[in-house]
Structure 1
């Protein structure tokens, strides 16, 4: 099968619209992941054993469950319980919650990597607990884990095609639909791969630069 340049130019606008949904789901899901992940990490350190263990087992369950069953549960099962969510919203929430369990471990490692002397100095200064976390511990911990958090953004972008199972018209879903209508899959699928490469490679380079700048030595 020869490459059809005219068909490629005709299908490109639809693919770019699909890419917009892909980027929207990735970026909004990432905001949820990095925010909720920090919440999980802090709750894991709470003195309340019940809360800490409940969060631990909940995050372990989510992390050990494949993303596709979670997408099906949020989009198809929750409506049976009276909670109906649009496909894109369901995809964003599921991506965010799923990856928050990974970012939680990243934050936990960053907090554990803060030198013990910092904790002791904060205690010696009799700082309020809120100031210890906001002014001393978290700024150092987050700085240490910025490169790893950036890697998860790229991973979420590459997992976004899974949203097609709940009918989100993201990039890959759009390519499948175009191919099904024209019975030509070569052009749309190849262009999907190229678009992912064009975004993932610069993002990876940017993360490497962040790693060089912020990595703790």
Structure 2
């Protein structure tokens, strides 16, 4: 099958519409993942054993089940319990919760990487616990984990096509729908793939720069 430039130009605006939805899901999902991941990391360090154990079990359960199954549960199963979510909301919650369980471990590693002397100094100065975390520990831990968080954002971006399974018109969904209507798949799917590459590769270069910037690679 030959490449049809006229059809490709017709498909491009449709695919770009889907790209906006993909960006929206990725950005919102990342915000949820970063915030919730930090909460999970702090709960894992809770002195209350029930809290830390329950958080660990939740993280392991979510990490051990496929993201697609979790999306199906949010979108198709929850309505049976009276909770109905739109495709975008279900997608953002699914992506955010799934990746929060990975970012939680990243945060935990960053926190544990803070020198013990910093904790001892805060204790010696009788700083409140909230001040110790906000003013000493997290400002040192978070820069260490930025490259890893960036990698997870890129992974999330590349997994957004799974949202098409719950009816969200993302970049791949729009490309597939347009291709199905015209019985021609080469151009729309290829354009979607090229856009993924053009966005993912520069992002990976930025992550590598952050790794070098914070001395995480040699």
Question: TM bucket by the smaller chain?
Answer: over 0.9
CA-CA distance at 1:216 after TM superposition: 5.2
Q: Is the 8 A contact 1:59 1:101 kept in 2?
A: yes
Distance (whole Å) between structure 2 residues aligned to residue 67 and residue 216 of structure 1: 29
Contact in 2 for aligned 1:71/1:91 (Cα 8 Å):
yes
Relative to the length of structure 1, the TM-score reads 0.98
Q: What secondary structure sits across from 2:207 in the alignment?
A: helix
Aligned position for 1:196: 196
Report the CA distance between 1:214 and its aligned residue.
Answer: 2.2
In structure 1, the partner of 2:214 is 214
Distance 2:86 2:216 in 1: 42
- The residue aligned with 1:9 is 9
Is 2:163 aligned against 1:163? yes
Q: Name the counterpart of 1:52.
A: 52
Task: Report deviation, 1:20.
Answer: 0.3
1:118-163 per-position Cα deviation (integer Å, ceiling 9, x unaligned): 1111111111111111111111110110111111010000011110
Output the CA distance in 2 between the equivalents of 1:143 and 1:88. 30
CA separation in 2, counterparts of 1:71 and 1:188? 25
**In 2: Cα distance, 1:48 partner to 1:215 partner:** 35
Q: Which residue of 2 aligns with 1:92?
A: 92
CA distance in 2, matches of 1:82, 1:95: 21
**Mapped partners of 1:216, 1:15: distance in 2:** 37
| Number of equivalences | 217
RMSD over aligned Cα atoms: 0.9
Q: CA deviation at 1:178?
A: 1.1
Alpha-carbon contact 1:147-1:215 (below 8 Å) kept: no
Distance in 2, Cα, partners of 1:204 & 1:128: 39
Unmatched tracts of structure 1, length 5 or more: none
Q: Which residue of structure 2 aligns with residue 137 of structure 1?
A: 137
Q: Is the 8 A contact 1:172 1:189 kept in 2?
A: yes
The superposition leaves residues 25-44 of structure 1 with CA deviations (integer Å, 9 ceiling, x where unpaired) of 00100000000000000001
- Equivalent position of 1:103 in the other structure: 103
Name the structure 2 match of 1:37: 37
Q: Give the equivalent residue in structure 1 for 2:205.
A: 205
Partner deviation per Cα, 1:60-101 (whole Å, 9 max, x = no partner): 101111000000000000011000000011001100000000
Q: Structure 2 length normalisation: TM-score? A: 0.98
Matching residue of 1:115: 115
Q: Unpaired segments of 5 or more residues in structure 2?
A: none
Which residue matches 1:19? 19
- Aligned to 1:161, what secondary structure does the other structure show? helix
What displacement does 1:187 show? 0.4
Aligned to 2:27, the other structure's residue is in SS state helix
The answer on whether the counterparts of 1:33 and 1:99 sit within 8 Å (CA) in structure 2 is yes
